[in-house]
Structure 1
């Protein structure tokens, strides 16, 4: 059997991602790698994170899902919206523009600088934006449903739920008793919000793996092999 390795919410912490893959002896010939979204914002190396994820998808056949931060970044570059820009900056987007445009934090809050940054990313990194926009919202195999945020329990067929729910849903999903026949593995919500630890959270039919790396906590990896789960965590002592 092949191992399945799952990682979520890298948020610009590409060094921790590489350290984690090294720690588990990741081998694309023998392992299935699934990334649950949010590659940008908050951490120091959003550009490098997207490049690394693209490499893993294109060269290794990894599965990468789309997170809400990935969606927001792509939308920012493609549309001129004051409301979207405000939300982007409020939720860690400053670090993303710093990574892509070599700006300081003070510069990023200037509207003219933001317009120039959008044009710079659109012109020089359109492949990144197209990649993020093209990513699927979920992945499914024999034992698991993989999603960035969760499933809306109000939909009889979870595949029919709005795109927004795949990327944003929280409490309604966490508190629901699902009957989907498979374990749902998700990120988006830091596990410290579900328990008193940033470690992987094992719930009833759900597993949350966002260790809050960009918040100075850790990047979690979940390993599934022959019906058994194990975990690995890489601490972030270099808060970005």
Structure 2
């Protein structure tokens, strides 16, 4: 570049060229600046783009690296797969996590204690249900079915529906004098524990000493108490005649048992055939129990025989207001639903069980299809209306039978193997005195409360070995015929 200088235009041209150079330099600098800014912006944009696209945060030297691990992918919904449930790995992880939680719960001491407690309660509940609740419920269901009208139709009528033959020298039902029924007294100096009591005594079997000890223990008073024997007052024991005389002297009531019935039949036989009093070859070959029974029958005086014959099969005490029920006394048992005057005499003196379908009683304790008669008796009494229910008309709430029949409590003996059995509507008080058990008295006070008193017995009759023939023994080792001495 050349600069021509003249006087007038030289300076002007020089200034013009200088300005052009400056402009060119400025334009160049501006261009480079713009390019640098554009490059810097491009780098910043690229860096932001990378940071936005990458889930891993940028390293910051001011904090430890471990603090940069936020595991955002576990909580951010945009990283979760829409097909997680269908993934095998996802299911395995969930299952493993669930099992880990379960193990953690089971390992906790508190949880283990609760688990042990609940396990014990479960075992106890199963045992209680299977051994007590379910059998009791099933028994009640069977008893209810046995008493239903459908069962009566299916079995063609129940036991006792036909007429009963009459027997000579036997009283079927006898009512106790109303003066002897316990009544609450309004006297201020009298107490219900000592006034107007009924004292029921179990099978005595000639154990006179034990009877006297028992009455002394209950403070028996002939003026304020009345004694009732539930049958089998004689036989097996040492003082049968003395026991009868003692009962007569105290004015006691009684019912006929199977042993009284047997001895009375033999007494009439001995009386009608005096020659049988002398031992003959036929009588000597009889069993020892038959021989002792015949000897006892021959030893009884007419007054003793008359007293035993006055004992009815059923002693009807009557309605006891505190008990809100009728009260009867028998030796062995009763068939529910059958009137007292139509009960079978042999069953009343000997029964132990009753068939569920036909209601036929049996002297055996557990024949097939039968239960202890007490169970059916109590179930039947519970099905009858209560005493206060009789104030309502029978046509409104029940049939004619329910309106006429009242709930009845029966006191009985005869069943020594089962011992003392005190149920709501049945009281069994034969506790095997003659075999070394106890003699039991059941005391009913004027207030309606029951009290049981017992004394130990010496045990006069031991079970002896059976004297049987070879043909009496079955192939399985059981006896087809028991000796008469095994009779209860």
TM-score, normalisation: structure 1: 0.75
Which fold has the larger relative contact order, with Cα–Cα distance below 8 Å and residues 6 or more apart in sequence? 1
Alignment-derived partner of residue 453 in structure 2: 232
Give per-residue Cα distances to partners, 1:183-224, cap 9 Å, x unaligned: 11111111x42xxxx4x3112411100011011101000011
Kept in 2: contact 1:44–1:96 (CA 8 A): no
C-alpha displacement at 1:93, in angstroms? Answer: 5.7
Alignment-derived partner of residue 175 in structure 1: 375
Kept in 2: contact 1:46–1:95 (CA 8 A): no
Alignment-derived partner of residue 112 in structure 1: none
1:189 is aligned to 2:391:
no
| One of 116, 126, 131 as aligned partner of 2:307 | 131
1:220 is aligned to 2:440:
yes
Mapped to 2, the partners of 1:215 and 1:95 lie a distance apart of 17
Mapped to 1, the partners of 2:218 and 2:293 lie a distance apart of 28
Q: Alpha carbons of 1:40 and 1:206: their partners in 2 closer, same or farther (altered >3 Å)?
A: same
Kept in 1: contact 2:235–2:293 (CA 8 A): yes
TM-score, normalisation: structure 2: 0.39
Q: Which has the larger radius of gyration?
A: 2
Give per-residue Cα distances to partners, 1:163-188, cap 9 Å, x unaligned: 22221121122231333512111111
Point out the more displaced range, 167-176 or 65-74.
167-176
C-alpha displacement at 1:131, in angstroms? Answer: 2.0
- The 3-state SS of whatever aligns with 1:211 is coil
1:88-237 to structure 2, matched below 5 A, reads 100=296, 120-121=298-299, 125-139=301-315, 140-143=317-320, 144-153=327-336, 155=338, 157-172=339-354, 173-176=373-376, 177-179=379-381, 180-190=406-416, 192-193=417-418, 198=419, 200-225=420-445, 226-237=447-458
For structure 2, the 5+ residue unaligned runs are: 1-183, 185-195, 277-282, 321-326, 355-372, 382-405, 462-488
Mapped to 2, the partners of 1:208 and 1:89 lie a distance apart of 30
Q: Which has the higher strand share?
A: 1
For structure 1, the 5+ residue unaligned runs are: 101-117
- The 3-state SS of whatever aligns with 1:5 is strand
C-alpha displacement at 1:37, in angstroms? Answer: 1.1
C-alpha displacement at 1:16, in angstroms? Answer: 0.5
C-alpha displacement at 1:159, in angstroms? Answer: 2.8
Q: Which has the higher helix share?
A: 2
